[in-house]
Amino acid sequence: MTPLPRFLAGAAEPERPRLRKRERTRLALIDAAVRVFSSRGFAAATMQEIAAEAGMTTGTLYNHFDAKADIVAAVAIAIAQTMQERSSARRDSLSRGVERVAMGCQHYLWLAKQSPDWALMLLDVAAATPAFLETVGAYVRADVRRGVRQKEIEIESETAALDLVCGSVMQGMRSIALGLAPPRHGTAITAMVLRGLGVPAEPARKIARKVLATVPGGDAGYRRGR
């Protein structure tokens, strides 16, 4: 199984200060699940292995998660939150809403290239877990609103804009993860998303290329394969 990129390693961070014991335990279990999934794959991993990796009993694990599907969903949400948190400095350096939207698109499309198995897992969770889309959608909504205020984005409704962005990016991720996408597909998807939000064609292409520099590790090796 392809590993989770180092940029997203330690997504649960159980040692965060000021957390209550129950939340620290929950995060430690999620962190252990990431390690087990990375080594065993999602299908082969068992609840017993996750508990053992965390140094806890299976009973403790079931006190927090009723089934493996629940911990898979929790891992996916933790990855989405970590993606946003660890890219926040780069995101905050961009003043334009259109650039922020493009950056978010490129980061998730980058994940599909770097870690196809993890990307496909996120897509499965997104289809069945509203909390995952709510986590991602909060950032998309804020960036779209910024673009509207700056008069660079025109939309019919925020919900329609959210569906456009998330739907396009998720299908792009699937194509990339399955090896079905042509070169530079991530940049093409990002430009098409911006065009759907009312950005003219050439500016949309330029913005999609510009934000490649915000991809973890820069755009080395990413531009060629996308």
User: How many angstroms separate the CA atoms of 153 and 96, rounded?
Assistant: 10
Six-digit token pair at 170? 């998720």
Q: Which residue has the higher pLDDT, 18 or 85?
A: 85
Evaluate if residue 76 carries a pLDDT over 90. Answer: yes
CA 204 to chain centre: 22
pLDDT at 168: 98
Evaluate if residue 220 carries a pLDDT over 50. Answer: no
100-143 residue pLDDT tens = 999 999 999 999 999 999 999 999 999 999 999 999 999 999 99
Task: Set out the domains of the chain in order of their start, with CATH numbers.
Answer: 6-74 (1.10.10.60), 87-225 (1.10.357)
How long a stretch of residues is the chain?
A: 226
What 3 state SS string does the chain have? CCCCCHHHCCCCCCCCCCCCHHHHHHHHHHHHHHHHHHHHCCCCCCHHHHHHHHCCCHHHHHHHCCCHHHHHHHHHHHHHHHHHHHCHHHHHCCCCHHHHHHHHHHHHHHHHHHCHHHHHHHHHHHHHCHHHHHHHHHHHHHHHHHHHHCCCCCCCCHHHHHHHHHHHHHHHHHHHHCCCCCCCHHHHHHHHHHHHCCCCHHHHHHHHHHHHHHCCCCCCCHHHHC
pLDDT at 4: 81
